[in-house]
Chain A
Amino acid sequence: MRMNMVSGYRALGLLVVLLLTHAGLAQTVGGMKRGTSLIPDYPISDHMVADFDGDGRDELVVFAKDGRVLSYHGTSGASLDPAPRGKLQLADPERSLIATGSFFEGAKKQLLVLSPGGLRVFRPDDRGDFSGKGHLLTSRARFNLRVGGPIRSNIVQDVNEDGRPDIVVPTPGFCELWLNQGPDESEEKDGLGLPRFRRVAKAAVRLNSQSSRGMSSLNKSLRSDFSIPNLTTKDVNGDGRLDLQIRQDDIRSWHLQREDGSIPGKPDVSLDLSIFRDTTPKSAIAPGQIASMGDRRSFESRDLDDDGILDYVIAHRRKIWIFHGTKAGPQFTKPSFILRSVEDVTALTLLHLDKDTRPDLLLIKVEVPSVTTFVLGFVSSWDLSFSAAGYRNTNGREFDKAPTWKKETALRFPPILSILKDPQALVQRIEYMGKKFRKQLGGDFDGDGKEDLALLSEDADRIDVFRSTGSADESDGDGDESLREILFEDKRSTWELEDVLLWMGGLAERRVAALTRGRNPDGSVALSDREKMEFTGFETGDFDGDGSAEIVLSYRPEGAVRVTLFDVMGVDPSQK
């Protein structure tokens, strides 16, 4: 009896220790506390977090709308010195793109500015601050569009993966690729070998543009809204080097990277999709008929035969051509296979429908509702019917001639009048489901060398922290699996709109479970209650150089475009 009591006490003691230890652990990670709140008194255009002076401590660099570049430095923990430093004044802030890169061998990161004056690099001083005029790398690479204030852009990319950062210059209608040729030793400035840049390609790009010019009423607005797409690079010939893919309307072209890292100015392969023509008469989009592609050509690429080389599927009306790529690059003279659909096709894609590694072919046919359906849809539920047909990739060279997977599905919408009467209810429901895709941030918050995870709550009022979850790469996730599930595996043949939203919600929850390994958070911290402020994002930075990351949260006033406020939080230093 006595021994049992001792054992019991020991057990209890051990339990208490364990509990206290666990609480301590939770305190260490979940012991995030708010540090500095920065409310700059000048309009902000953009910001970034980076270690420019190589001292192992990140700085928060803020780009003011008027062109000033100001750095905020950490003091300890999650505290930043509220007095900004730096005297850099950009010459043309309204037309400046900002990026970072390491342009000098052995040097730290620098700030790159692309503007109408050219490409200029700025090195921080020994304190990590920016000033002066920097160094002009080339005056021929210019950016002339008005962006309203200096903004970050992904213009620095190592396109040919030679370890030297290259520059992609966006212009209306084109993206220019400027390859970094390395420093010219004979032309050192300030003891630096400035890198030389050579424009190797000018790729035509199609702007994504939405503009409005309506003046019919006071509530209308005049709008200019466009984006310039990035260059697309991919290894198309299996040599391990990224190649340049360019798309303009029906023209596709490829510039293959050479062994020495150079990329030719003229394309190695060029294709005009309009040469692919199915003689089946063109169908108009008519009520009660399949919504066809019309005269559009569809172009998809994927490695169909697992040889590490991209292959291509081209469709026009009901005819589909398969071309296999070669080590010399894409070829479109000899199709491996031709498939013909008995009906018009609305959309086509390649994805994994079975368990092997070769992608299969999916055809989607959407039926345009009849006029009667549409009219009755004002007062009754109405269906948008579509069918999905999956063709198995048999041997990497061909697809089955008949579909292995086939399903007819209808998407059921509520009466149009009910939506018009209260559209807000539907929108709120959609937004509610959207919030389930919680924003995530990875970082080593407790300095133990392992990646942790911070998840924003659905209501954006707190951050949940999960310890040692591993990499939270946002690109993880299998779109093929999701599409297969919804098109063929789910037993339902009619999906109400609510079913779709619930499915999306389920997808979101599974994603969170995968990220967190199904665990409860190790700790949570409430965000500052910022009245009339919107949370816009968060990122990590190690401001005190202790190996554990702090989190910078940014806010903007409701309805404003730019961020104006920062909160910094981190693990309490006494807890580390």
Chain B
Amino acid sequence: MNRLSILIFLFLLTSASETGRAQSRLGRVTRIQLSPDVEVAEAVLRDVSGDGNVDLVISALDLKTNGRSLRIHHRLQGSKSVRECFRQAPDHTLSLTPDVVAFSIADVHEDAGREVVLFSPRGVFVWRPKGSEKERFKKLFSAELLWQVPDVDEVFFWDAARDVNGDGLDDLMLPETGGYRIAVQGRSAEAGAFFQAVSTIQIPEDRRAGFRAGGKGPVQTGGGQGRFELMLGLPGRQDEATRNLVRIEDVVPAPFFLDWDADGDLDLLAQTTTRLHVWPLSQEGQYNELPGESLLSPVPLNQERTLDISYSSHAVDFNQDGRADCVIFAGDKSKKNLRTQVLIFRNSPEKGLFGEKGRPDQLLVLTGIVAPPSFPDVDGDGAKDLLIVTLRTDLIEQLRNSSSDSVSGEISVYLNQGKRGEKSKRGEVFSRRPDFIHSIQMSPEGDTKTTHFLGDVTGDGVAELLLRTSKDHLSVFMIRQRKGELSLVDRPLWELNIDEEANVELPDVEVSKNREFLVLEDHQVLHVRFR
């Protein structure tokens, strides 16, 4: 081997090592292992200690005792330079009583940092890990939580904290039968933190979505959004009245808090079968019981629409004018191929949200079935872009003669056109055509839910793409922007093998400035953090 060859070999070897180190520097993995008798139910990242770094909170189940607990792992100080972000042993552990249904993390006490908020069927409590034994638990207010019966296997995270009136204090929101309860926090030197301004929201009655539970005989039907249930029984079975003593069903729409009227506070939005309801926050910091506006939805949720697996509707402020806009995805079966329409509505003082005739401000048409979309900021301009994963049903036809074990899908990004689009002739919110397309092969074992723009990891201002390329493999790919065009670099920046059955918990952007997420396995939580 001559000298040049040796140099080339050494260069390649070094480059490979550098790449390997770059990969490991890029994404740090901290593994929190629980004992084989303890199972992970849920995990979230929230700044509990109030030091500006997100901590890790794990909801766990002891399989031997059936005891449920919360484990808080504080972020290690100086963890930017150390490999691991958390210690193995939790800093605080709370054994939960059987009546606890859910938990949240919010600053609801004058103690430094945030506290654990516990929800039981009848009330809301705070747990202060640093409080004296007598003062560790305190009831905040009474409530009739929607979920009356705790799950014996888990205590779930309910994201209750919202600063609805912009005063810097965490307010709490929880669902109840027929509506919601919103408790606005106040503070004073004498009284400390208190919740006196409590708004009770009532959802107006509307037609029931889904299927009426039909039949008393062997053929019974039921279902809801995207779901149809068929129960085939045989003669001689017990009927409902003798089989069950009580059946209780409570349903409320998912609530969303956004600024509707550009007054700087958070208004409440909720969608029923035929209408979008809005409860503006008053100047006194309260919500009225009934909505201030109820807009007829241009795509109501009738029985046909409940079977439309592409259907979804979203409220997002696309143009950052302080007014919540709306986008609706709906299947279009009028053509031979399956298509999905994307109806984008811009909220403006002149026309409102849906206008008089429910005509969208922009209409996109996609080929195939659409998975639930998301709205990341891909190009780093601060505005929400549109990310869609589509199952290309037209390409599936090609499978007839193949023995492939996967189907073609597509990841598409439509960039937010911002002011430029607003002023354009068509008044577009998003590009008319995708600014980024990436084909993927989707096997039944793949996970389209883990298609996520993680944020800018490489420092070029453009978000990177996290993909679960197979059941047991995660990859992060660099997205490059050149001359306004986005493209994916084929070789992954970072990869990780995970358990096949693991759930990937993607963060809210607001939670952390770092690019981090969690992988939940049965007895282990993996925390992944990028720069």
Contact = CB atoms under 8 A, between A and B. Distances in A.
A504 B218 contact: yes
A153 B315 contact: no
Interface residues of B, number: 90
A424 B308 CA distance: 9
Interface string A139-168: 000000111100101110000000000001
Contacts of B148: 145-146, 172, 224, 226
A225 B235 contact: no
B224 A229 contact: no
B469 to A, nearest CB: 16
Interface in B76-130: 121
B250 A504 contact: no
Contact of B245 (A154, A421, A423, A558): A154
Contacts of B372: 216-217
Interface residues of A, number: 77
Interface string A261-298: 00000000000000000000000000100000000000
A379 interface: yes
A148 B177 CA distance: 8
A475 interface: yes
Nearest to B218: A437
Contacts of A477: 234-236
Contacts of A154: 241-242, 245
Given A172-B149, A479-B234, A224 B248 contact: yes
Interface in A207-263: 207-209, 211, 213-230
Interface string A498-514: 00000010011001000
Contact of A224 (B147, B236, B313): B147
A498 B202 CA distance: 44
B367 to A, nearest CB: 13
B279 interface: no
B234 A225 contact: no
Contacts of B271: 218-219
B122 to A, nearest CB: 9
Contact of A214 (B218, B228, B254, B315): B254
Interface string B238-268: 0101111111111111111000000000000
A3 interface: no
Nearest to A172: B149
B217 A434 contact: yes
A7 B215 CA distance: 55
Contact of A437 (B219, B251, B308, B405): B219
Nearest to A477: B235
Interface string B121-165: 100000000000000000000001011111110001011000000
A97, A173, A222: which has the most chain B beta carbons within 10 Å?
A222
Interface string A419-442: 011111001001101110101000
A443 interface: no
B365 interface: no
Contacts of B237: 479
B252 A375 contact: no
B166 interface: no
Given A155-B245, A207-B149, A511-B217, 4 more contacts: A214-B254, A225-B250, A424-B303, A504-B218
6 contacts: A208-B244, A218-B253, A223-B249, A227-B244, A379-B400, A433-B219
Interface of A: 97, 145-148, 151, 153-155, 168, 170, 172-173, 175, 207-209, 211, 213-230, 287, 370-372, 374-376, 378-380, 417, 420-424, 427, 430-431, 433-435, 437, 439, 474-479, 482-483, 504, 507-508, 511, 534, 558-561
